[in-house]
A and B are shown apart, each in its own frame.
Chain A
Amino acid sequence: MSALVFRLKQAPDRRIDLSGLVPEALQGRSELAIARLPLDGSRDKLKVADVFGLRMGDPMSLRFDGGSERFDLVGAGMATGEIIVDGPVGAQAGRLMRAGTLRIQGDAGPYAASRLAGGRLEIDGNAGERLGAPLAGEMAGMSGGIVIVHGDAGSRAGDRLRRGIVVIEGRSGKDAGSRMIAGTLVLRGEVAGAPGPLMRRGTIVLVDGDCSTLPTFSDCGSHRLVAARLLAFELERLGLRFARKLKRPVRRFAGDMAISGKGEIWIA
């Protein structure tokens, strides 16, 4: 059975909350029922049919034909199945996602993967600021799962990361890995400024090239780390071939000494 397709009728003139359109919420619903679903968060009470043309298919596999940077909360809370967006999305894509696969074939806005708990989010374009971060007032960021950004990421990627793996293949913005609690942040491209300010624990991995480090990170020398090899295998399993570089010795920095010094930066 082919995918259930939402074809964007025209670029929306307001922000639209798409958190209701996830596989588990659409299972067993008729075309008419889906067309009449309200799109929460719009200022005027929009329904699915006002924004999208529908082509029925397997609700476990959703496809958005055409995206918009005004689509907020795409795949938010999703617990199963697959969503593919052919275009950009707005803020908080994959927020609180628990399982399944979400693929954005374009750019994502700020707070993508915010507090993601499981599953896999892949962004083909760039991600905005605060990838995986908690919203204002929340104490921890991503708590599991895998996020892969093939493009660049904005500032403070992995803010308050608690568990899970975040990979940024392009450049990453300022203060990457700020306030990390645990988890793994892999930065392949160029890094703006020094990463890991106020990180408590966790691992930031720099794969291609060097970066400046904060004075509160202590150089621990080069080591052949078993953990680095394990991470390399895991990343290769995810299709990230550059990870083989982690099988060589890595230079390790411990920090942020301002907090506890239990976090680390590996430079491969």
Chain B
Amino acid sequence: MPGRRGEGRHPRAWIEGVACSLDAAIEAALGRLRESRHPLFAGLGCDVEGARKLVRLAKLVGASIDHLSGTATGIELAVARDMGAFLTTPGEAAARADTLFILGPETGEAGTEYLDRVLETTPKLAARDAPRGVVWVGPALKAKARSNRLDITSFQVPTPQIATLLAALRARLADRPVAKAPLSAPRLDAIVEKLRQAKFGVAIWSSPALGPLAIEALAGLVRDLNETTRFSCLPVIGADNAAGVAMTLTWLTGFPSHIDFARGEAEHDTWRFDAARLARSGEADLALWISAYRHHWPDWAGDMPLIALTARADQMKRSPAVIEIEVGTPGADHDTVDFSPASGLFAFRAATARQAIPSVAEVIDRFCTELAEPARSLR
């Protein structure tokens, strides 16, 4: 691809891999959006302002939106919607929890960083003399996590068996019998006893590999624990501001993802408006892929023409996009408001090295301005 990436900090864009001006790329993208019968907006790795503009554009062109299929945030929202959840914030958990129930993530998975932070923090508002109790379930514990401030009990259980284990724990908590479980009966009862003794317990997990039924089993266990003590859940927040975009879409449209504007009103269907399904079935004929936090592509990128708004790539690679526009990384290249995984709140972050590269919101806003007038006259 001509035009080296990762160098020079001015707006850059490509049409079919050939470098062009930002204006030319926007013009070409507009042409595609106008012709498309069913555009799909996916990825949605952007800040609150970007998501706002994307909803406006989706209404103008009658697009489908999906950014949660197969993500941890998608699974957690589905469970919260189906049965509710006791939730807490990362700050509360770090400051108050006297017992942590950790479903250990694989090393290197999203969330390990936060986990390290919690494990290294001394709780300010929990009983100070006693070490923080940690019940660790999952792959073997990292040596780093061991410390004299922590009283760790670890149980090695393969990830696919965690759902079964959680169901068994919930049964034991209610004194109901359990047949041969992933752990022996005395060890199950030992975990249950530790959870029951918690004054402020927090369950932490991150793995999307657990699946919705495992998370539902966990939410049920936490619900039952709240009969006698205080226990809450802290899902480790996923990448790409997924939770922040889900909240933004919810307050704008009523739904967190899987939305379609073909009929003018927002319509929600988790199966019909699944991005991968829309791409592979050929029902959508154009995708707008947004990824301002990192450079990555969906598995279905080859199934239809792609307009991409992406963060700069570190190395040159052939891009699957027909039209690609480089956008600034929120909080690095431009000021932003997004959902902070560290605090569990929306937060303003000033740019660390302000650049002239447009943000997602700026590019989408240009699309909206160009499309708004003709679209209004059509309706």
**Contact code string B283-300 (vs A, CB < 8 Å = 1, else 0):** 100000000000000000
**Contact code string B160-172 (vs A, CB < 8 Å = 1, else 0):** 0001101110110
Check: A118 CB closer than 8 A to any chain B CB.
no
B213 to A136, Cβ gap below 8 A? no
A215 to B220, Cβ gap below 8 A? no
**Which of the segments A29-37, A57-65, A253-261 contacts the partner chain?**
A253-261
With A15-B272, A43-B262, A135-B269 given, is the CB distance from A214 to B283 under 8 Å?
Answer: no
Check: B251 CB closer than 8 A to any chain A CB.
no
**Contact code string A8-25 (vs B, CB < 8 Å = 1, else 0):** 000000110000000000
Q: Which residues of A come within 8 Å of B, CB atoms?
A: 14-15, 41, 43-44, 70, 72, 91, 110-111, 135-137, 139, 175, 178-179, 197-198, 213-219, 256-259, 261
CA A218 to CA B172, docked complex, whole Å: 13
Of the residues B178, B182, B216, B268, contact of A198 by C-beta under 8 Å: B216
Residues 244-300 of B contacting A (Cβ, < 8 Å): 258, 262-263, 268-272, 283
Of the residues A215, A256, A259, contact of B180 by C-beta under 8 Å: A215
B220 to A198, Cβ gap below 8 A? yes
A219 to B179, Cβ gap below 8 A? yes
Check: B102 CB closer than 8 A to any chain A CB.
no
B62: chain A residues within 8 A (beta carbon): 43
A136 to B220, Cβ gap below 8 A? no
26 A-B pairs with C-beta separation under 8 A: A14-B38, A14-B283, A15-B283, A41-B263, A43-B38, A43-B62, A44-B37, A72-B272, A135-B270, A136-B82, A137-B81, A137-B82, A197-B213, A198-B217, A198-B220, A213-B179, A215-B168, A215-B178, A215-B179, A216-B164, A216-B178, A217-B179, A256-B171, A257-B174, A258-B166, A259-B220
A68 to chain B, nearest CB (A): 12
Nearest 4 Cβ contacts at the A-B interface: A257-B171, A258-B167, A257-B176, A215-B181
Residues 200-227 of B contacting A (Cβ, < 8 Å): 213, 216-217, 220
CA A179 to CA B219, docked complex, whole Å: 14
A91: chain B residues within 8 A (beta carbon): 271-272
B167: chain A residues within 8 A (beta carbon): 197-198, 214-216, 256-258
Check: B78 CB closer than 8 A to any chain A CB.
yes
With A15-B283, A110-B271, A198-B213 given, is the CB distance from A258 to B168 under 8 Å?
Answer: yes
B268 to A136, Cβ gap below 8 A? yes
CA A14 to CA B68, docked complex, whole Å: 23
